[in-house]
Each structure stands twice: as structure tokens, then as C-alpha cells.
Amino acid sequence: MKTCNTTCPYCGVGCGVTAQREEGGLIRVVGDDSHPANAGRLCVKGTSLAETLVREGRLLHPMSAGRQTTWDHALDLVAQRMRSVREEFGPQAIAFYLSGQLLTEDYYVANKLMKGFMGSANVDTNSRLCMSSAVAGYKRAFGEDLVPCDYLDLEICDLLLIVGSNAAWTHPVVYQRIVAAKQKNPHKRVVVIDPRRTSTCDIADLHLQLASGSDAYLFAGLLHYLCVKDLIKHAYVDAHTQGFTQACEAVADLDISKVADKTGLPEQQIETLYSWFAATEKTVTLYSQGINQSATGTDKCNAIINCHLATAGLGRPGCGPFSITGQPNAMGGREVGGLANQLAAHMDFAEEDIDTVERFWQATDMAREPGLKAVEMFQAAAEGKIRFLWIMATNPAVSLPDTVQVRAALEKCDFVVVSDCSADTDTAAYADLLLPAAGWGEKEGTVTNSERCISRQRALQQPIAEARADWWIIKQVASRLGYADNFAYTSPADIFREHAALSAFENSGKRAFDIGALAALSAQEYASLPPTYWPAPVDGISGRLLADGEFYTASGRAQFMPVIPAMPVHSGTSDRGLSLNTGRLRDQWHTMTRTGLVPRLMRHQDFYSVAVNAREALRLGVNAGDVIELRGNAARVRALLLIDDGLPMGQVFSPIHWSDQFSGDACISALLPSVTDPVSGQPQSKFASVQLYALSTSLWGICFSRDKFLLPDTLYWSRVVVEGGYLTLMASANGELAPEVLSCLGATAQRCVEYTDENREDYRYISQRDGELRFALFINRERDALPLRNWLGSLGTQSLAVESSRLLAGMDASAVDSGRVVCSCWEVGENQIIQAVEKGACSVQDLGDVLRCGTQCGSCVPELKQLIQARQSEQAA
Amino acid sequence: MSQQIIIVGAGMATAYLLQALARHQHDLRITVIGDEPEACYNRVMLSAVLAGESVAQDLQMLDTQVGAGAVNFITGTRVESVQLDNKTVCTDKGETLGYDRLVMATGASVHKPDLENSWVGGVQELRTLRDAQRLRNIASHGATAVVVGGGLLGLEAADGLNQLGFSTSVLHRRPWLMNRQLNREGGELLQCKLEKKGISFRLEKSVSRLVLQREKLVALELNNAEQIACDLLVFATGINPNKCLSAASGLETDRGVLVNAYMHTSQQHCYALGECTQLGQQCFGLVAPVRAQAEVLARQLLDMDGPGFELEDWPTQLKISGVDIFSAGQLQQPGEELVLRDRGAGIYRRLLLRQGRLVSAVLVGDKRDASWYRELIHSAQDVSGFRNQLMFGRTTCEAMQTAAAAA
């Protein structure tokens, strides 16, 4: 068995993984002990990576207008359309929309082609949706996009503020590092600032459940507090910053009572936070989408950074404003300049930078103005201004706000190219040309994680079918456009060296992003490149970033930004009105094109659901499990209702992962209006005004099937993958369900084994072919009367010794149901855990000893604790 | 002095009575008089004998202990008359035997429609072992057999003939087979299964005339004037209780010999048992009630207390190998239907519920849990709590209830 170290393609933690493989396939993936990000740890998503390397769902061949074509033809077509659109409508009519899933090398080549040779800066990326406010915040304050912290700071700080992040679910390994550090250091305090009480609060000494979007008040108020209490580090401020006075003036009226008023927090809690912040030397503020995805996200970032500048809380171990990114290579994209308002290698559209890059690239048609940011780009497409759009490795039809408009734009755009490893995405449906991209495990390159650590992704196997690396595809197009000499790369190593050389080109300390030391890597050195932090200038070791108090602004001083906080604006309210909050689920990733392939990742939370708290549900007259409709932005989604008492009144939470491929009317981004931050262009994905309505259901159905199917005309449907097939849950408002489903499955009731109890509307159908179960469909007017998910979800693995007529019972008379899966790593169910607690397990440790739950990635530990508590208080009562 | 019991008839009812008596200590002297050469064999298995699946010995219902012990069998002998006043019977051998108590267990005969020439060779019945053996001796190859009557007995006979090699068809007056025990869908599935075995069917047809050639049956003319070839005709159009001897002896009879719940006839010391009896309006053709009668009668003969015989809906089972049929309860009631169909496997199960109680069960192709359904029908237990799993049997229902209780 061979092993290969590579990097996980999911969140921004960027864990090293060791893939163990055999001839013909990947066996399993474990954490890489030697990687600084995770030191062997891995979350359940990473652990399941081997299960995503399947043929299912992959785009295998270039497809032109729905027909398979050759690479030659496809590449000619791209080049020809790019050229003709550029000639006829100008360079501004072409655009690339990239992704934080791309490798740095792919990103670099795409960016170079567009900005250096097409004369357009219309290159933007889905990272716009994720951390562009953080970038803008850093740039305003530091003069460059610099994340001045690393994961070690999270461990060694004495006070950690986690703001707008459910790290326990979204960055599990970093969270586990924090948990471990807190266990070691009892004085370490963790404050979670989040409108939701999430799993991350499990380790919080203080949870500030503030009003959605009011974070800037809290941090602006903190600056005010620091001023008033004279807790400013004046020496530092005087020596290394500018704009302090204006920043203080801007917050002059934000005393604690005003902050309390705006945030809805008790003054006592605010006071506690402020006093801890003031009293703790080593403080890190870790922030993520809850801060960034806002109409005032950049200001929020600066409100945070201001406080760290005022207390000299950066440039030292255990300190700093730390933006953690969502994607595996958002940082790499930032480094190559993959955002429309960046040029390359942390250079912008200043005349000098343009000149530098132009010379370096020997560019023939240099972009001289920033291009269109993501939301603008699609608006331009809708207006007919973008006529050629190349989307790589992302699914904007699901992930951008106002997806109805985005889809209209894709419809309208003359020529849409989609390079992706997945065949069935909502975006692919709009493509004129589909290009099969190599996926994780098939490509070579680098990624940069949230702590500026560059790691190699390595190929474990050949690309499937005709899939090709993105850099190769772009290079081929560039060659066809006449730039073969400028894109004469033969390997990712060539590209990486050029990228590293550009970072060092005429740099001499002007730009912090300098990886000149890597510009001369041999092929062998590139192949074995260990995780490397930047800066890595050619002339030696760089110390801690910003340690010297020198910044990258014109003056060399850090800039305090005067922040005048603002609340998100509700558009119209009614008694059914709620504010929508969105986010990730623990075991899912983006639009589930990969995680959606892995059965065990679908067991923690399965069918598309949105959550409100119990009191809110009562007020709205809805119950857990009801089908509800959320309306807003002239669109709707339909979901099951979950009760989550961690949510505040007035808020509904929806996961972001669902698309038309998995659920009917579940694209939550459709409800988000295109409200963006004026500085960063980042959409306000954490807040929208919506109304919630209960929908009446007359019939429920659940189906195990070998094949997937969509039910566009059904009130509600949602599908998850299980071993050997799929489970689809569905509900209808009136009328029958069976005929439609059976017809989707190419069957009729007559050809099934069927059970009917018409008076109860209890209908069950089993179909087998050649001794293999094809599907099992159960319909009932009561959802509770449908078979248990665990039983139905196991049918794909059963050898069919079980006769059809017995399967119609919808249960296994001999098995005990283990319940909803809580620990995905070891597949331990809720019922098993409750039983173990009843038998005397009284700690997470005990449960781990008995059931192994919580002993791998640890992300279920908060839930395990809750279950123990709930059961114990039940027993006590 | 111990009592002398005479049992007239040596059929299955008698066998059950002897079995029931043998379970007790008693000093009864028992004489069984039967007109067939064999006594106490399992008539239900005649079609298996016909088919060659069983031989005569397999049908023997009494083990040697019962047979050879206290019971005196007089076979091949008919009782010609009964003198109730002096408690004697006279046989066709001229013997007169005295009794203390008499049991009439004279069985039933095939009900034959009133047709001309039905005496001719080629018109048969399947009622006795001898019938079966005779049928086996008829050259079956290339010959056509027609069974009239698509009920239990007719189908069993048809299966036997079919296996014997006859080209066999069944005429049935009703639109589907076993119409008293099955609904249309069940009957149709049954027909399907039997067709697969090679039997053909003509439904809603009856015989209007026998067509002879040289005094030999060659064809049947049906009520629609169609003629079908027929070398062998077997009537299975129901049974009539054999009541003549009883009636002639002065017992009260109607369609059968009238009895009360303790199997008493209208005369003291005289009982009746089995297919010859009539309780209220009911006559009996199935094994289960006859067995129940035998139990009751045994207690009477032993002067023991015990419950009387109760009318109930006895389930029906078809004994054709590979064709499982079970029917219990009252089929035609209005109610709520639960249906399971597996057309590929030839399974049809229909449970009928009324007011939360199971009132009928029709099981074709899969008889599992038949006796449980029978109990549920009999006990009229409320099944609403496990209605959704009722179809799938007792184990499943119990597992579901256990799981529900645990949750």
C-alpha cells in the first residue's frame, strides 16, 4: 500500500491528509501527522474523502450543447467565442467566474490570461461571497491583504473572541485545537458572539447572542470603551497608526447602554466582554462569514481591527484580528489576484503595479481598471453586457444571492462555459459548453489555508475519463488565442515558479506577499514541497508578520477606519416576517456536489430543513416536521421545519447547501436580494427579510431508489444519498404521489409488489429486478407512519434474501433502530447514546469508551453533552 | 358392564371421534360399521392419491393402537336399518347388533345435477379411495377430463386428474373460482396459478347435456350450447348430507340430520356427527368443525362436562401442492380493505377490517400467519393499534409494538 500526503479540499483550515492507496483505488484518508494545520486530526468530511472519488456524478467528456464532443473541438470553440465576443463587443464583454476550489496554479493562469492578454479584469470568484470583506478590511487597515495570525495564536491566546462563526461545524479541526488548548489552559477564555447558540458555544465562557448584524456596534463600542477607560496603547498607536482620533470620534456616542440598545445584549455581558478584552494581553478575534457576509462587512472587519490596533493586539504571538476563510484556496486566489479589484500577487490597479505586472507577464493587452465583482458580473450578464462567461469549479446558480436573477443572466448570456468535475449542477444546466475538470485527488498544485500556509495537493490517481486539469484547459485556450509562448507551461510547477517569481518581482519589501524563495524550486522540490508559510522571501526567513509595526500603506502606518455602525434594514415586515440567517451544516460542503455523494455525511441532518426556535414556531402556528414555505425577494423555498432553540426569536436559519439537484425549491440564495457591501462587493448572505408560511400536506412519501429522480411538481421533495442508492422524502398538498414517483422510476403499480390500505391512504410499492431491489416507495397521510429512515436507508446494502412482500412491512422485525446519527465518524445513533447514558455513561469520555462516538473528529461532542444532560435531567425529574 | 357404542360410518369424522376418545381412559366398547373396504382414511388426501403423490397407507388416520384396540371395525358393510326403540342396527350382511348409544356418522355424497345419462361410464366422482383408484386406472393419456365445480373439492380433483395426465378443465357456474371463500381478485389469481399447472377453466358455465357415442361419453354440451370434448366427467358441485338412513329410522332431519350443540339427535342415546349433520341452518363440509364436533361428542359419550359445539367461520385451505389458499371470516361484508399484491410471486393477501376488527382474511400464495388471522377474527380483537403492520404478521406487529413501547 502506498501513501501520499495531500491537502483536504474542503474548508479553509487546509488540513494535511494522508491518502492510503492501492493499485486501482484509494483505500482511505487519514489526517497527516506532519501537517502544521491539523497534526493528524481530521473532521468527518475529510475522513470521507475517499468516498467522493467515484464515477457517479462526474462530468466525463466535453459536452457542447448537450452532445459529447472532442477536446479539440471544445477548446477551439472556447477560443473562437472568446475572440469573436472580444472583437465584436470589447474585452469588457467577457468574464471568468472562478472559485476558491481552484488550485493556485489554475487561478494564476486564468487571471493572467484575462488581465494580461484579454484586456479585461472581469475575473471574479466565489471567494467574493466568503471573505472579500475581510480582504477589504485588511487592505484598508494594513495596506495589504494580510492575515496577521496563525492557528497557534488561537491556542496560545488567553482570550478568544469567536465572532460570526460556528467553527465547531465549519472549521472543525481548528475548533478541536481550541478545545484542546482550553482544556490545557483553564485561564483561557472563549467568548462566542453569534445570534445563534451554536455547537461552538459549547466551550464558551460567555455567549453574546446579539441581534443579527449588530456586531459593528459591539466592536465600535469596545473602541469607545477603551478610549473612555484610557486603555489605549498610546505608544503603539502614536508610532504605528493613523486615523485614531477620527475613529474614536466616529464612535463617541457608543456607550455601553447604546450598544446594549442596538445589540439587544444585557449591559452586564457587554461590560464583561469589554473588561476581558481590555485586561487580556493575548487576545485573538476570530471572525468569519457572520462578519463578512454583510452590507457593512468591511466596516465590521475594521471595527474589529481598530480594537486590536488600539491595544497593540497584533504582530505578537497570541494576538490579532484573524479572518478565517471558508474555502480551501480562498487565500491562494487572493494571492494570485483572483478578485476583480486585484491585479496579481497582492498588486492592485495602481499605475505602477500595472506596469510591473505588464512587464513581468510581457502582457499584450493589460487590464487597467478593476473588473466586475461577482454580483455585478451577473447583473451585467443579465443586462447583455457580458456575452461570454466562463465559470470554473463553482455553482453560482445556487450560491450567488438572488439566484432567480443569476439564472436569468445565465440564460441571457450568449455563451456560457462551465468547467467542473460534476456533471449535474444547477449551473451546468445553463452551459453551452461543459468542460470536464480533474477533481481532488486527480490534480497537482498548491493551496493556501487561512493561516497563510501553502500546501501541496497531490494526485492520487489519473483524472477520470477525459477530465483535465483546469490550468491545462486554460493554457490550451490561451494557445489557441495566439499566446502559446506566454502560456508555455508544461506542469503546475512551471506555473508555481512563475507565480512565486512575480511575488518577488521588483518587490524589495514593498509587498508582504513574497514567496520568492519558492521561485526556483526544481520539479523534485515542488513535488515534495512541505507546508510552507508566507512570506518566504528569497533572502531568508521572515519573522512574524507585522511584528515590526511596519504596514504596507503609503505612510507605512496602520489605518484606523472611522466606523459608523449600521443595522441591516428589514424590507417590509408582517406578522409572518422573520430575518433569514444562512450557514453551513456540520457534515456538508457548498452545494453538496461532493459531500452529497457520501452516505454517512447525510446522516447528521438529512432532508432540507430550516429552523426556528420553539417559541417562534408556536407564534407562527407551525410544528416541527411541517412543510413550510419561506418567501422573500419574489422567490420561495420549501423546507421541513426544524426546531432549534439556539436561534433567537424572529430568525429562521437555512443551510446553504441545497440545490435543485437535491430538493425542490430549496435554493435559499434565491431569497437573498443582491445587497452587497459597498467596499468589498460581498453579498449580505446572513440577513434577508422573509415570511414563513405553513403549507398543508395531504400525503407524505419516502422512497429508497437505486436511481435518482426529481419531482418538480410536488409540494416538497428532498433527496439524500444512502448506501447503494438514494432516499427521497416527499409531500403533496393534494392528490396522489405514487403515480408521479412511479413514472419517474419507470414503473407502474401493476409491476410492483404493492400494499394498499386506501382508507388510511397507506400505499407501499417494492420493485425488484434480477434479484436486486430497485426501489421501495412508502406513502402515507402521516409522516410518522412512514418507515424509519435508518431501515429504509439500509436497503441498498441488503442482499435480497428478504422477499418483497416482507419489505413492504417497512421495518425489520428483528432489528433495533439506532436512531438519528450523531457521530458520523463511527456512525453512532441517538438511540444508542441514550441507551448508554441510561446504562450509566455519564460523560463524553464514558460514551467514547462504550460506543467510540466523539473519539475521532470530535465535532459531535457538543451534541453528546447535550444528550447526556437532557437524559440526566429527565432521569432526575 | 361397559357400554356398547355403535358408530355408523367409518369416515374422517369417526376417526376424529376415536382419536378424541383415545385421549381418555374409558371402558366403552366401540363398534364401527363402514360400507367401504377401508376405514377411517383421510379423504382430504384423495386428490393426492389421484395425483400419485400419496398412496393409500399415507391416508391412514388411526394408529394401530386405536384401530386394533378396543374398537371393533366392521368394514364393507352397510347398516340397512336402525331400530331406535330396541337399540339395534341391522346390516346388509343380516347381522343385528345392539347398542347402548348410537352415533350416526354417515357422511355426505356428491351433489349431482339432474342430467340424463349421468349413469354412463365416464361419469365419475372422487369421494372414496376406490374412486381414486378407479380413476387412476383409466387411461389418461390423450383423454380429456372435465371437473364440474370450481370449489375446493373440484379444484383438488382437477389438480389430481391433471397430474394424472388428463387434459383437464374445470367448469364453474360463478364468475370466479372458490367464490364462497375468495373475492374476485383472489379467485382470479388462483385460476392463474392453476392455469400455470396446465388446468383450463370455463367460468360462468354449466353442463346442459351429456353427449354420448355408443353409450360412451364423448362430449359435454354447455349452457351456451358450446360442445366440449369430454372423456371423463367428475362432478364436484357440492355435497349433500347422507340422511336417508337416519330419516328412515325416525330421526329428525332437514338437509341433514338435525343435532344440537352436544351432537344429540332428536332421539335419546342417538348422536350424529360430521358431514351428515345439520345444526341450525348449517351443514358441514370442512375438517375443522367436524373435529370440533368430535371433541364435543367424545365428552358426551364419556359423560363428561364441557362446552358445546359452536358455530363459527371455519377457515378454508386448499390442499393443492404449490397453491396456498387460505380464507377465513366473512368475505362479503362491507369494510376497509388492506391488500398486498405480488404479481410476480403470485401472492395476494386481503384483510378486511370493520370497526377496527379483522373480519375476513384471504391469503393466496402466502398463508403465513393464517392461524393468527383466524384467532383475530374469532376473538374480534381491536387491531387498530397495529393495522399498519397487520398484513405482515404477528412477529412484525409485536416487534413494532415493542419498538413503539421502547420509544
Q: Judge if A760 and A861 occupy the same domain.
A: no
- For residue A282, is it within any domain? yes
Residues of A in contact with B189 (CB under 8 A): none
Beta strands in A82-122 (DSSP E): 94-98
Residue A812 lies in a domain: no
Confidence of residue A573 (pLDDT cuts 50, 70, 90): low
Task: Verify that A122 and A173 share a domain, yes or no.
Answer: no
Q: Do B4-109+239-301 and B123-235 share a fold?
A: yes
Residues 579-598, chain A, touching B (beta carbon < 8 A): none
Minimal Cβ distance to A811: which of B340, B344, B396: B396
| Binary contact (A809, B344; C-beta < 8 A) | no
- CB-hemisphere CA count at 13 Å for A98? 37
Domain presence at residue A780: yes
- A145 within domain boundaries: yes
Touching check for A813 and chain B: CB below 8 Å?
yes
pLDDT at A288: 96
Mind listing the pLDDT tens digit for each residue in A329-366?
A: 999 999 999 999 999 999 999 999 999 999 999 999 99
**pLDDT greater at residue A734 or residue B380:** B380
| pLDDT attached to residue A814 | 67
CATH topology classification for B322-406:
Enolase-like; domain 1 (3.30.390)
Q: Positive or negative CA dihedral for A790, A793, A798, A800?
A: positive
CATH number of B4-109+239-301: 3.50.50.60
CATH code, A35: 3.30.200.210
Q: Could you tell me the CATH number of the domain that includes residue A762?
A: 2.40.40.20
Instruction: Using an 8 Å CB-CB cutoff, list chain B residues near A834.
Output: none
Residues A659, A407 contacting (CB under 8 angstroms): no
Burial readout A113-125 (b: 16 or more C-beta within 10 A, e: otherwise): bbbbbbbbbbbbb
**Do the chains contact at B388 and A803, CB–CB below 8 Å?**
no
Statement to judge: residues A16 and A72 lie in one domain: no
Say if residue A311 is in the same domain as residue A415.
Answer: no
Nearest CA in chain A to B346: A753
Alpha carbon distance A585, A284 (integer Å): 25
* Number of residues that this document lists for chain B: 407
CA A789 to chain B, closest CA, distance in angstroms equals 15
More confident position, A467 or A572: A467
pLDDT in tens, A683-723: 999 999 999 999 999 999 999 999 999 998 899 999 999 99
Q: How far is CA A408 from CA A124, A197, A380, A402, A427, in A?
A: 19, 37, 11, 10, 11
- Boundaries of every domain in chain B: 4-109+239-301, 123-235, 322-406
Whole-angstrom Cα distance, residue B222 to residue B227?
Answer: 6
Q: A603: distance to nearest CA of chain B, Å?
A: 20
CB contacts under 8 A, B 35-94 vs A, are none
Q: Which of A759, A805, A807, A818 to mutate to test the interface with B (most CBs of B within 10 A)?
A: A805
For residue A454, give the C-alpha cell.
501553502
pLDDT at B407: 60
Interhelix angle for B287-301 vs B12-22, to 10°? 50
> What 8-state DSSP symbol labels residue A820?
S
Under the banding of pLDDT at 50, 70 and 90, the label for residue A389 is very high
pLDDT, average across residues A113-138: 96
pLDDT, tens digit, 9 for 90 and up, residues A584-606? 988 888 888 888 888 888 888 88
Q: What pLDDT, in 10s, does the model give residues B351-390?
A: 999 999 999 999 998 888 888 998 999 899 999 999 999 9
Q: Would you call B337 and A753 a contact, using CB atoms and an 8 Å cutoff?
A: no
Q: What pLDDT band is residue A800 in, cutting at 50, 70 and 90?
A: low
The sign of the dihedral angle between the CA atoms of B22, B25, B27, B28 is negative
Q: Any idea how long chain A is?
A: 877
Q: Is A69 on the interface with B (CB under 8 A)?
A: no
As a whole number of angstroms, the distance between CA A873 and CA A430 comes to 54
Does residue B58 contact residue B45 with C-beta atoms inside 8 Å? yes
Provide the shortest C-alpha distance from residue B335 to chain A (in Å): 10
Q: How far is CA A86 from CA A80, A112, A412, A474, A728, in A?
A: 10, 16, 17, 17, 45
Residues A334 and A220 in one domain: no
Tell me: do A282 and A153 sit in the same domain: yes
Model pLDDT, residue A827? 77
Helices (H), ranges, B287-392: 287-301, 370-379, 387-390
| Distance of alpha carbon B66 from alpha carbon A315, whole angstroms | 106
pLDDT in tens, A613-656: 999 999 999 999 999 999 999 999 999 999 999 999 999 999 99
Q: Give the pLDDT mean for A801-805.
A: 70
A-B C-beta contacts closer than 8 Å: 68
Asked if residue A186 belongs to a domain, the reply is yes
Domain that holds residue A842: 821-876
Q: CB of B50 within 8 A of CB of B126? A: yes
Predicted confidence (pLDDT) per residue in B310-339, tens digit: 988 788 877 777 788 899 988 888 899 999
Confidence of residue B398 (pLDDT cuts 50, 70, 90): confident
Nearest to B340 among A750, A755, A760 (CB): A755
Query: Distance between CA B270 and CA B263 in Å, rounded?
Result: 9
Does the structure show a pLDDT above 60 at A34? yes
- Domain with residue A828: its CATH number is 1.10.10.1100
The rounded mean pLDDT for chain A is 93
Looking at the complex, does the CB of residue A802 fall below 8 Å from at least one CB of chain B?
no
Q: Could you give the C-alpha distances from B143 to B161, B162, B195, B231, in angstroms and in order?
A: 10, 10, 18, 6
Count of domains observed in chain A: 5
Please give the Cα distance from B310 to A76 (Å, whole number). Answer: 91
Question: Has residue A546 been placed in a domain?
Answer: no
Give A78-124 pLDDT, tens digit per residue. 999 999 999 999 999 999 999 999 999 999 999 999 999 999 999 99
Residues A232 and A270 in one domain: yes
Q: Which of A439, A600, A472, A590 is nearest to A54 (CA)?
A: A439
Q: Which of residues 671-700 of A touch B (CB under 8 A)?
A: none
Nearest to B104 by CA among B278, B231, B221, B237: B278
The answer to whether B114 touches B208, Cβ cutoff 8 Å, is no
Average pLDDT of the residues of chain B: 90
A409 and A357 in one domain?
A: yes
Instruction: Give the tens place of pLDDT for each residue, B84-118.
Output: 999 999 999 999 999 999 999 999 999 888 888 88
Say yes or no for a CB contact (<8 Å) between B403 and A817.
Answer: yes
Domain containing residue A338: CATH number? 3.40.50.740
Question: What pTM was estimated for this model as a whole?
Answer: 0.87
pLDDT of residue A237: 98
Q: Residue A76 burial by CB count (10 A; 0-12/13-18/19+): exposed, middle or buried?
A: middle
CATH of the domain at A263: 3.40.228.10
Indicate whether A672 belongs to any domain. yes
Same domain as A502, residue A444: yes
**How many CA atoms within 13 Å lie on the side-chain side of B307?**
4
Residues with Cβ within 8 Å of B266's Cβ and at least 6 positions away in sequence, in order, are B251, B252, B258
CA angle A40, A42, A47 (to 5 degrees): 120
Contact at CB, A805 and B345, closer than 8 angstroms: yes
Domain stop point among A511, A533, A555: A533
Residues B214-242: pLDDT tens digits?
A: 888 999 999 999 999 999 999 998 899 99
Q: Using DSSP, state whether A472 is helix, strand or coil.
A: helix
User: In this structure, are A137 and A243 located in the same domain?
Assistant: yes
pLDDT given for residue A801 in this prediction? 57
Per-residue pLDDT of A822-846, as tens digits, reads: 887 777 888 889 888 888 888 888 8
Same domain flag for A597 and A706: yes
d(CA B179, CA B199): 18
Cis peptide before A370 (omega within 30 of 0): no
The fold adopted by the segment(s) B123-235 is FAD/NAD(P)-binding domain (3.50.50)
The predicted structure's pLDDT at residue B68:
46
Considering only A284-288, A804-808, B143-147, which range has the smallest mean pLDDT?
A804-808
Residues A136 and A284 in one domain: yes
Contact A377/A386 with Cβ under 8 angstroms?
yes
pLDDT score recorded for residue A337:
94
Establish if A721 belongs to a structural domain.
Answer: yes
Asked if A830 has any chain B CB less than 8 Å from its own CB, the reply is no
Distance from CA of B140 to the nearest CA of A (A): 39
> Alpha helix locations (H) across A789-859?
789-792, 804-807, 830-838, 844-851
Neighbours of A209 (CB within 10 A): 18
A816 touching chain B per CB within 8 A: yes
pLDDT category, B67, cuts 50, 70, 90? Answer: very low
